[in-house]
Chains A and B, each alone.
Chain A
């Protein structure tokens, strides 16, 4: 089934009876060339690019719940390429370029909206840091414009500019930044992979990884044993448990990150905005809800729900920045399990010492925008056994050697600081 404007009109006029399921709900076979553990955004995009870029189609994606039921369905949907450090900068730049062609590539409406991202700054020091970041973004070939206070006012007249505590000095404007419909990204990749022959197996929890003499032989699952020559672990917050099945410990601590959405409102916030003094970010969904979030709850958790102190903090930050949202009613809040690394940057690498085992994890609180490039690079690594050039610095051993630590926030490479 191909989507097109013509198809939408035809189905609209004939009772919408011609739509079919977007992907096959496959039964697991006893053997594949490759198995991907985890049917979230990153796992599905990896399977899609393995099929599309490398012609590998004898692949299964094993998901313990339902496709896209983890973090890809629980984020604040922001897409951006405003990274500073070499290693991150080229990776996210590549990802944004993939986003820009994604709908055409997938023939799927992921509602990618480049509405522009504005990171506000509130002091001279922050302005300097953002000017430097903007220059790095421009050097990478992406877009960044340093706005002064009046420049911000033109875009965002409704902010509280007059306050004395956190005066708005300006903002770093990233016009190509924006949002996308998170679920549709998972569904689009699932459909693309499934159409190319990849088996997407739901309700199939991996319970063991078979390794003989340092070589991967397959996995044990709740739906039987599956043999495979190569296995990719792409399970975000659950990376620690799955790596333990291969006898490995990871530099990952799983933390809770909350997000919130209000009732649907008429269009009021056109951009993605982040508050430089309180870790608060907000955008408005096409349905009208204000989607916003803040910082981690800051303690290890798998609960997928947060605690009240961080809720209060996020609401306070929102009210400080834009008092106009004060009467909006919060409909829902939820939490995702973030796979936090000590330096805040991800890992796409082979599992050293185990042939055929690969891992893609450590996306911290920024995994959604990385979905296309993460899949692209993980597929490249699994198919060729060489890291892709834009993900070459995402090595697992950087923590042991201390070489190539990418502490984007400059807070120190330590677990409780990101």
Chain B
């Protein structure tokens, strides 16, 4: 699997650190309560198909990247800088 870093271009998967579901871009309010924080920290949609997850180009420019890919085929559909995506997420 190869990922395209929006800054550096297409690179080997080994240059990237996997953080998990891109849920991290929607951090709840500190006072949101147990259930909301449990959902944010632990519960996952875990889709068999298209998913969005967070990777860091730790072996390159260090950018955090939102990768849209298919968990059934390992096809990578889209990559974008997390800083850009975060602005468009409520």
Which of A59-67, A183-191, A293-301 lines the interface with chain B? A293-301
Q: By the criterion CB–CB under 8 Å, are A416 and B13 in contact?
A: no
> Does any Cβ of A come within 8 Å of B77's Cβ?
no
Q: By the criterion CB–CB under 8 Å, are B14 and A300 in contact?
A: no
Closest A residue by C-beta to B73: A303
Which B residues touch A414, using CB under 8 A?
41
> Does any Cβ of A come within 8 Å of B46's Cβ?
yes
Interface residues of A in 247-262 (CB under 8 A from B): 249-254
Which B residues touch A244, using CB under 8 A?
45
Binary interface encoding of chain A residues 393-418 relative to chain B, with 1 for a CB under 8 A from any of its CBs, else 0: 00000011100000000000011100
- Give me the 5 closest cross-chain CB pairs, A-B, nearest first: A240-B46, A251-B42, A400-B38, A249-B43, A399-B42
Give A400 to B40 CA distance when docked, in angstroms: 10
Known: A249-B39, A253-B46. 8 other contacts (CB 8 A): A251-B43, A254-B71, A300-B20, A303-B74, A307-B13, A309-B13, A399-B41, A415-B21
Interface residues of A in 214-272 (CB under 8 A from B): 238-241, 244, 249-254
- Most chain B C-beta atoms within 10 Å of own C-beta, residue among A240, A250, A299, A342: A299
Known: A298-B18, A399-B38, A416-B18. A303 touches B44 (CB 8 A): no
Q: By the criterion CB–CB under 8 Å, are A307 and B1 in contact?
A: yes
Give A401 to B42 CA distance when docked, in angstroms: 12
> Does any Cβ of B come within 8 Å of A108's Cβ?
no
Give A309 to B18 CA distance when docked, in angstroms: 14
Which A residues touch B53, using CB under 8 A?
299-300
> Does any Cβ of B come within 8 Å of A169's Cβ?
no
Q: By the criterion CB–CB under 8 Å, are A252 and B46 in contact?
A: yes
Q: By the criterion CB–CB under 8 Å, are B48 and A302 in contact?
A: yes
Q: By the criterion CB–CB under 8 Å, are B20 and A253 in contact?
A: yes
Which B residues touch A239, using CB under 8 A?
46
**Cβ of B39 to closest chain A Cβ, rounded Å:** 7
Which A residues touch B14, using CB under 8 A?
309
Tier of interface size on chain B: 20 to 34
A→B interface (CB under 8 Å): 238-241, 244, 249-254, 298-303, 307, 309, 342, 399-401, 414-416
Q: By the criterion CB–CB under 8 Å, are A250 and B74 in contact?
A: no
Give A400 to B35 CA distance when docked, in angstroms: 7
**Cβ of A313 to closest chain B Cβ, rounded Å:** 9
Closest B residue by C-beta to A337: B48
In-complex Cβ contact of A415 among B13, B44, B45, B51 (8 A):
B44
**Cβ of B4 to closest chain A Cβ, rounded Å:** 15
Q: By the criterion CB–CB under 8 Å, are A307 and B74 in contact?
A: yes
Q: By the criterion CB–CB under 8 Å, are A250 and B46 in contact?
A: yes
Give A400 to B42 CA distance when docked, in angstroms: 8
Q: By the criterion CB–CB under 8 Å, are A300 and B51 in contact?
A: yes
A-B residue pairs in contact (CB < 8 Å), sample of 17: A238-B48, A240-B45, A240-B46, A250-B44, A251-B42, A253-B21, A254-B46, A300-B71, A302-B72, A303-B71, A307-B13, A399-B41, A400-B34, A400-B38, A415-B20, A415-B44, A416-B18
> Does any Cβ of A come within 8 Å of B61's Cβ?
no
Which A residues touch B48, using CB under 8 A?
238, 240-241, 254, 302
> Does any Cβ of A come within 8 Å of B19's Cβ?
yes
Which A residues touch B47, using CB under 8 A?
240
Give A62 to B25 CA distance when docked, in angstroms: 38
Q: By the criterion CB–CB under 8 Å, are B42 and A342 in contact?
A: yes
Which B residues touch A299, using CB under 8 A?
18, 53
Closest B residue by C-beta to A417: B20
**Cβ of B41 to closest chain A Cβ, rounded Å:** 7
**Cβ of A121 to closest chain B Cβ, rounded Å:** 27
**Cβ of A416 to closest chain B Cβ, rounded Å:** 5
**Cβ of A309 to closest chain B Cβ, rounded Å:** 5
Which A residues touch B39, using CB under 8 A?
249
Closest A residue by C-beta to B37: A400
Give A309 to B14 CA distance when docked, in angstroms: 7
Which B residues touch A249, using CB under 8 A?
39, 43-45
Which A residues touch B34, using CB under 8 A?
400-401
In-complex Cβ contact of A342 among B41, B51, B71, B72 (8 A):
B41
Known: A302-B71, A303-B73, A399-B38. A416 touches B20 (CB 8 A): yes
